Each structure stands twice: as structure tokens, then as C-alpha cells.
Structure 1
């Protein structure tokens, strides 16, 4: 029986391309298009591995992976994204993923990464690994600037979820419905978040959500691993 894999990406064409790459060796059990559906799919299917984009609506890929690692720690995870920035990579491995692959990679690299992670090893795209090396070398030459992700440490996972939904333009009622709490609870969380980040307006909250990587810069829908020639 082929190992089961879940592919989480909010661009349908990208997800379909990834499925075509995987289908000869693996069984793709689900292709959720947002972070919350991804968690539900993993908890229902319990796949061997999940391929996850960072830029997922409703709940970003990294925070969704945090949930998965708590409820289904045996599920292995590979991040498949356009984002090569070291702070995304570092955060992903802190969450507990086993691989980090760029969408600009060839299909053979994606398949190799999946095999490596399924076998208990770690895989990082060479371009991403070089970025980490460059960052480390730069850090030894001069003091580093505070990272843009530092404020995220002050926010709980629930607060990060609320902040992302606020930044996506959801109303208090919509956010409450999405995470199954009361509107008063959402108002409480928004107040705490504003205090922690030192902001007042929704526009400022949205700016912080982008800075923290909860909402990543838009990705190109056509960007997916290329079939090897």
C-alpha cells in the first residue's frame, strides 16, 4: 500500500501539480486549502506525511503545523513554499517539521525530500541552506538587528490565530465562529494583542501580522515544483 500524504495549498492549480508529481509513489488522501481544514484532514486521515504551504488562509501553515504536532506527533511534515527567508525556516524547524522545500525546486528534489523525511531524516533545499549559512556568517561579523519575528514570542498560539484572522479582514463574529469562542472572548484577545504589540488600530494589527509572517506576501499561483526533463 502506498504511504498516504496530505497536500495543503490554497492555490488549486499548484496543489494539482504537486499531486501529479506524488501520485506514482504515494496516495494523496486530501488537498485542504486552508490551515483549519488541514488540521481536520490530518486528524481524520493520520497520513504518513503532510506537505504544507506557509501562506494558508484562516490559519497560516506554521501555526497549523503546531496544532498537528500536538494532536498527531507521528505525522511527518515538509514545508513547500516560496519563502526562503531564514526566519521562516528557523521557525518551521522549531515547530517540528522534517523538511523545507522551495516551490521553485524540480520534481525530483521534492520526491527526494519526501523520501528523506519519511525515513526519519531532515531535508532543506540547497538555496535555503545557503541562506542559513550566510546568516550565521553575517552574525559572527557584526551584531544582528532584532528579528522581525521577535514580538511573536509574546503572543500565545490563540492570539496569533486571532491576529491572523483580524488581518484577513474577518469581523469579531466571524473570528468567534471560526475558532468556536464567544465574541466577547475575541474582543478580550484583541485587547490583549493590541497591548502586547503597542498598537490600537486594525491597520496596525494587520501590519504586525504581515511582519510576524502570519500573513505572508502573496505567492505566485503558478509556482510549483517543475517536472524534471
Structure 2
């Protein structure tokens, strides 16, 4: 059984998670900016909600009681093709992230980062881009962004035969961009702008510390700290070895 909430002109969001506390936290986090139209506890309820409500965004957990979120995603795309699906998962594995995007997800946010990253992720996904966030060391806590206008929303220009003579004379013109394509391109540009602002904010937050003024200094500081730790460890080892050797001589 699922809960249906009020409708409005806001972006309509479906929450899919078997944990009631997670759903409540997400609802409290998103409720002021988005319309939480329903909550589903498993894959069956999620598909039912998508069929009946056609939400704009689906926030989907991977570990559901009756199915994998990856399997549910395929059914969501079939019954609600315009919905933007963002995985909100405890798993920070790059393998899960890549699989999510391969299957058609628009985003991937780790639950531990949801309070900071979920709202920007929804806004970016609505704008036509894709966003992922993991806590893997290789990402250093930054948002990894995959920008992609979905092909289903972009009408492909009709291909016509080209006269080589026209090309040689410079009189041939390629297909023009229609109004809908221009609108999507404008959305794409806006998504890029938002992403760049997010990245800049995170860079500023990291670089505003007292340790260093730039990334190079941070790296040098880390390297020096590592060397100092190694040096002290070596000195402690030598001192311990000498004490043990002196103790053995006294016993003899």
C-alpha cells in the first residue's frame, strides 16, 4: 500500500524505499520545493504509482523487498518514459553507478550525501542532464557529472542527399535547429551552468581552509605530513631496537 499526497504545479516526485524513516526524511527534505505525490515501499507499489500518477521524478532505492531497483527501473521507463529516475542508495560502488546509468537512470546519489546533493541532483535531472555522487576516494567527495540530453526528447534532423557540387561551391546548408531542439539546447546550457556552480562551491569549500591556498599546496602539505609520519615511525623503530639490544647486553 502506498501513500498519496497533494498535487500541485511543482515537480511531482515519487519516493520508493522500504524504510519508512528514509521516506520520512526524504519527504521532510524535499517537501518545501517539490510535490511528493506518493510513497512506495517496494517495486510493485512503485510501478502501480508510476502507472496511475505519471510522476516527473522517481527517487528509487536499489535494495527493495520484492525486486532489485535496477529491475524496477526498466519497468518504470516503459510505463512512465518521461519520468527522471534518480537512485538514492546506500551503495557507493562505482559498479552500481555505472550500471544505473547504463539502464537509463538520470542520477545516482548516496544516502549519506542526500541532504546536500539530492535537491541539486533533481534540479539538474529535470533540466535534461544526469548527475552522480559517490563517496569513493577516487572522487574526493566531488560530484561526478555526466551530461546527456536524452535522445527520446530530441527529434533527429531529417537526412537529405547532398550534392558534392553544392558542397564544393559552398552553397549547401545543413539542417536548421528547430524550436524544440533549441529549447532543449538552452536547458542543457542551463544545466551546465548549474553544475559548474555546484563544482565551484565545493572547490571553494575545500580551498577555504587554513592549510593551504591552492590544490598544489594541499598536495605538498599531505606529502610532508606523510613523510613526517614515516620519519617518526622510523625513529621510534630504531629507538626501540636499540633499547632491546641494550637490554640483551645487560642480561648477558
TM-score (ref. length: structure 1): 0.55
Larger CA Rg, structure 1 vs 2: 2
Q: Distance in 2 between matches of 1:128 and 1:74?
A: 30
Q: How many angstroms does 1:67 deviate by? A: 0.7
Q: How many angstroms does 1:88 deviate by? A: 1.3
CA deviation profile, 1:21-44 (whole Å, cap 9, x unmatched): 110111101110001110111111
Corresponding residue number in structure 2 for 1:85: 93
SS of residue in 2 equivalent to 1:101: strand
- How do residues 169-188 of structure 1 correspond to structure 2 at under 5 angstroms? none
Corresponding residue number in structure 1 for 2:33: 25
Q: 1:96 to 1:113 in 2, by over 3 A?
A: same
SS of residue in 1 equivalent to 2:13: strand
SS of residue in 2 equivalent to 1:74: coil
Corresponding residue number in structure 2 for 1:127: 135
Q: Distance in 2 between matches of 1:67 and 1:105?
A: 27
Q: How many angstroms does 1:86 deviate by? A: 2.0
Corresponding residue number in structure 1 for 2:20: 12
CA deviation profile, 1:124-144 (whole Å, cap 9, x unmatched): 11535936xxxxxxxxxxxxx
Corresponding residue number in structure 2 for 1:113: 121
Corresponding residue number in structure 1 for 2:61: 53
Corresponding residue number in structure 1 for 2:50: 42
- With a CA cutoff of 8 Å and minimum separation of 6, indicate the structure with the bigger relative contact order: 1
Q: Distance in 1 between matches of 2:131 and 2:23?
A: 21
Name stretches of at least 5 consecutive residues in structure 2 with no aligned partner. 1-8, 140-252
Q: How many angstroms does 1:106 deviate by? A: 4.6
* C-alpha RMSD of the superposition: 1.5
SS of residue in 2 equivalent to 1:104: helix
Q: Distance in 1 between matches of 2:63 and 2:69?
A: 6
SS of residue in 2 equivalent to 1:127: coil
SS of residue in 2 equivalent to 1:14: helix
Q: 1:15 to 1:87 in 2, by over 3 A?
A: same
Q: 1:3 to 1:40 in 2, by over 3 A?
A: same
Q: Distance in 1 between matches of 2:83 and 2:118?
A: 18
Q: 1:98 to 1:128 in 2, by over 3 A?
A: farther
Would you say the 8 A contact 2:50–2:79 is kept in 1? no
Q: Distance in 1 between matches of 2:105 and 2:137?
A: 15
- Flag as ranges the 4+ runs of structure 1 deviating above 4 A: none
